[in-house]
């Protein structure tokens, strides 16, 4: 009996690798994100949100060349959206004039505004915020009532209404078991202690969204967040999004 020189004893490993690559490509296609895409993330908060995303990028091993995180011109949802569009236009002008800085991308494939809903809801301007974001082609990663609800999901499931930002911060502080504020040092310490739970927070955010959808809760639902959608998109842009690949 002649020996089959074409037989590969590790064929099953290669087949599995091909399957995983295909599954990863399909996941990216569904989210509209490609490997190595560039993101612009403009935040309403000047401290907590930038600190969070900077630490998240380290966790995901994403380079600052692919993700730019900056606070908006003012802590106001509409100003955050306008800041994002201004930066997009300024980048386009520099690119057309061959004036790009070292490492600067020619364009951002994804433009996000990380905002709170509490003040806009109280002022009755939320619909205008949504319309402006649509007009300016900016994706919203909003949290109701505020970004602290997203942080809270790193610690536990939460469905109870939070009413406003101050109560949300008190609930977060109770869950942390330590003082919380938007001070830079405090934010670094708090976020550093919970950042590894971002995949868990993504799953919890999805369950909260389903809870409100099943209940027919009026939008923006309290509490809720869409920061998980941005985090998923960032994950899909990484070479091997291992932690959320099967989520």
pLDDT for the residue numbered 247: 41
pLDDT for the residue numbered 10: 56
- pLDDT tens over the chain, length 247 residues: 445 555 555 554 554 455 444 444 444 445 688 888 999 999 999 999 999 999 999 999 888 889 999 999 999 999 999 999 999 999 999 999 999 998 899 999 999 999 999 999 999 999 999 999 999 999 999 999 999 999 999 999 999 999 999 999 999 999 999 999 999 999 999 999 999 999 999 999 999 999 999 999 999 999 999 999 999 999 988 876 444 544 4
For residue 22, is it within any domain?
no
For residue 20, is it within any domain?
no
Whole domain around residue 59: which residue ranges? 31-236
Residue among 68, 67, 75, 66 nearest 47 (CA): 75
Q: For 3-16, give one letter per residue: b (16+ CB within 10 A) or e.
A: eeeeeeeeeeeeee
For residue 6, is it within any domain?
no
Kindly state the tokens that stand for 167. 């109560």
For residue 119, is it within any domain?
yes
For residue 127, is it within any domain?
yes
In terms of Cβ atoms closer than 10 Å to its own Cβ (0-12, 13-18, 19+), residue 205 is buried
For residue 150, is it within any domain?
yes
Between vectors from CA 178 to CA 176 and to CA 179, what angle results, nearest 5°? 115
Measured CA distances, 150 to 165, 195, 229, 239 (Å): 12, 11, 12, 25
Q: Is 0.95 topped by the overall pTM?
A: no
For residue 12, is it within any domain?
no
Number of domains the chain is built from: 1
For residue 21, is it within any domain?
no
The CATH number covering residue 126 comes to: 3.40.50
């Amino acid at each position: 009996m002649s020996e089959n020189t074409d037989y590969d004893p590790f064929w099953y490993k290669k087949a599995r690798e091909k399957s995983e690559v295909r599954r990863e490509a399909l996941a990216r296609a569904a989210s509209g994100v490609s490997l190595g895409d560039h993101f612009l993330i403009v935040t309403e908060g000047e401290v907590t949100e930038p600190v969070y995303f900077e630490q998240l990028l380290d966790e995901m091993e994403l380079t600052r060349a692919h993700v730019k995180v900056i606070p908006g011109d003012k802590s106001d949802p509409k100003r955050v959206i306008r800041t994002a569009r201004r930066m997009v236009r300024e980048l386009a002008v520099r690119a057309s004039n061959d004036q790009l800085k070292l490492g600067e991308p020619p364009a951002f494939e994804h433009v996000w505004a990380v905002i709170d809903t509490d003040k806009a809801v109280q002022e009755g301007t939320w619909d205008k915020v949504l319309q402006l974001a649509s007009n300016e082609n900016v994706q919203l990663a909003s949290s109701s009532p505020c970004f602290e609800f997203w942080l809270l999901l790193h610690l536990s499931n939460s469905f109870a209404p939070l009413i406003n930002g101050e109560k949300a911060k008190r609930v977060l502080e109770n869950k942390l078991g330590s003082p919380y504020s938007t001070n830079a040092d405090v934010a670094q310490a708090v976020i550093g202690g919970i950042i590894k739970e971002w995949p868990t927070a993504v799953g919890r955010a999805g369950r909260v969204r389903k809870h409100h959808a099943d209940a027919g809760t009026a939008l923006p639902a309290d509490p809720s967040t869409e920061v998980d959608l941005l985090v998923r998109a960032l994950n899909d842009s990484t070479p091997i999004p291992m932690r959320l690949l099967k989520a």
